[in-house]
Structure 1
């Protein structure tokens, strides 16, 4: 009897160089795979809001990656939040650990650390994106915006809540993403308010305007605006249109809102998006699989960063454990992670209502309740419990390759193979 062996799964294309993509590439490299990460942006995206890790699952994966010492060096120390009235009088103060978890780091610094950690065994291609996926008998052919094509054994969508891979392989975004009634925006600006640590913000019904200090450069700050709105029709790639939407939403507000809005004129790094959640019935289809926000994300408040790092560890480990059977690996990965990810994701449903309650009564009620230490402590413990409810096997990865020669970093096109 002739035994036909499945061809070895070696090459893996990952779309997205945010958090989930580089984390997955790192672990795939540790298990002997050959990951390639493609990213539409011309380079790693700097800046962004601080992100946090909390609970034993997050910290265990970071420790197994060898990243904990570095993250502790670059952590912010937490970001206390202060809510004020129009005159600047404090109405509510939330301690650093409420939003900052056990370790809080700037998102751009985290992305850089993950990228550098996995670079020795990862090929990065910036300034390109996938335009078509075609499954073949031996893999997946990926066509790219640059006009080139290449075949990979597997393709992973780690490209966020507006995932291109999910759209190409699973169907239109509207089938998988639900608007949660709010929009959020961030941008960098001079520290015109002289904020020293954490953030200070002002509420009106359905709106929050806040600004937070840059923990490394006291002359810089970051604005963070949230507002309630039905789903809007706008161009996600047109920052000028997004700036007009922000001006319209916050027109007429007092406090420091006019000064903060004025800073939008020269802001080159505006982030603007809906607060939404992604729900996909099955995280894999054939040789294509989703991870992070693409599979089960919430724009803000769903512990997406920690969940992405945990999911990267599990997906790479299950692919290694199943050897060449990607179907079994994808099933085990989803079975192990789905309930955990959905539990973390649920927090995102409440984020907009917490940050920008829809009525004056709602704002007062939030401020009153969260002024009680026992309730704050209870909420912190709940977050830690939710973020730790997952079993993390030891998958037997190869020793870390830090310091070894890498596979390279390219900007531009992915060359045609074959």
Structure 2
């Protein structure tokens, strides 16, 4: 694979993880990211089971991830008067290792920035597969030609749209939205529900977190003020500490709102273009996205290496080795679990956390999903 020119779109988790392996295997890697720089903060992400930890160890970052981990925190579910109803244990939400998304992204960037080219503040405008390469135009930079292009640019993937077709053909909205807002309420382990909406208080190291049921909304994902207004409307009239949180929302330095959706693709590759992470098998807040991204990067790079750079064989191997593992991303939706639409369903959800045997069975099931692949040593 020496000197194979690869363009990766997306500098969050999947993109830099793939850049690490491709650079190690001799590729000439460029990562393009629409944001002007690395995105700091964000919600916590986690790794579960031996498979995830083995890949981190093979990347040489396991101990550093452990050093930067937040530590899974129990979420105390409260009623409108602040009385405890149930506890969502940290091991349920945080896996074996939990780390802030921004911290993990920074760590991966640190391990690749010295040998890979990063281009921030730009995006791919067009892709033309010429048979022996991909001609790429950008919003800002001059056109270039690459041997391979990888879409690691999230559930709303620009690369998928350009190479496969419009988003509505491949992304299914699941009836809920989520939002993150940098509001430190001083008590970051309290969670409150009303039918169809949930809020978790933010603390010094984590943003306030919202999930609410809704019909599809039409909004600009890059218009923060519009997202603030949507969030204000969705939680207007809420009890507990919601009025206090809404009063502080206009001054929150960072707000991010997006749909809870699932990607449904029958293939990961189109010619010399391939998808990785949420762009290929995303299920918002499904609990496995970061692990799928990091393991997927390992498998995709390894299969290309095993195929000696033959992209057809490498992409086919990636599909063959990984699709069964990625099936976990097709399992259900986090929205109805986090923000049930009725008081009865909220009560039933809380009841689960009071039954240790049932909770233990659920944790064992997630461990089984997380390790359901035989990792090759490429």
TM-score (norm 2): 0.97
Q: Any idea what the Cα deviations from partners look like across 1:223-257, whole Å, max 9, x if unmatched?
A: 10110012111111211111111111111111000
Aligned to 1:399: none
Aligned to 2:336: 353
Shift of 1:346: 3.1
Aligned to 1:376: 359
Q: Any idea what the Cα deviations from partners look like across 1:287-332, whole Å, max 9, x if unmatched?
A: 0000000001011124100110000000001111101310010011
The SS at the match of 1:13 is strand
Q: Any idea what the Cα deviations from partners look like across 1:168-216, whole Å, max 9, x if unmatched?
A: 000000000000000000011233xx31xx521111101001113234x
**2:229 pairs with one of 220, 226, 244:** 244
The SS at the match of 1:389 is coil
The SS at the match of 2:333 is helix
The SS at the match of 2:284 is coil
**2:238 pairs with one of 239, 247, 253:** 253
The SS at the match of 1:202 is strand
* Higher gyration radius (CA): 1
- Segments of 5+ residues of structure 1 without an aligned counterpart are 1-6, 216-220, 396-418
Aligned to 1:232: 217
Aligned to 2:180: 186
RMSD of aligned residue pairs (Cα, Å):
1.3
Distance 1:269 1:238 in 2: 11
Distance 2:166 2:63 in 1: 41
Aligned to 2:40: 46
Distance 2:347 2:88 in 1: 15
**2:204 pairs with one of 203, 214, 224:** 214
Aligned to 2:50: 56
Aligned to 1:145: 139
1:283 to 2:268 alignment? yes
1:136 to 2:130 alignment? yes
The SS at the match of 2:326 is helix
Distance 2:181 2:41 in 1: 9
Change in Cα spacing, 1:138 to 1:8, as seen in structure 2 (3 Å) is farther
Matches within 5 A, 1:243-392: 243-343=228-328, 345-347=329-331, 349-392=332-375
Shift of 1:147: 4.9
Distance 2:266 2:92 in 1: 32
Aligned to 2:149: 155
Higher RCO (C-alpha under 8 Å, 6+ residues apart): 1
Shift of 1:369: 2.3
Distance 2:100 2:47 in 1: 12
Aligned to 1:174: 168
- Segments of 5+ residues of structure 2 without an aligned counterpart are none
- Between Structure 1 and Structure 2, how many residues are aligned? 378
Shift of 1:8: 6.9
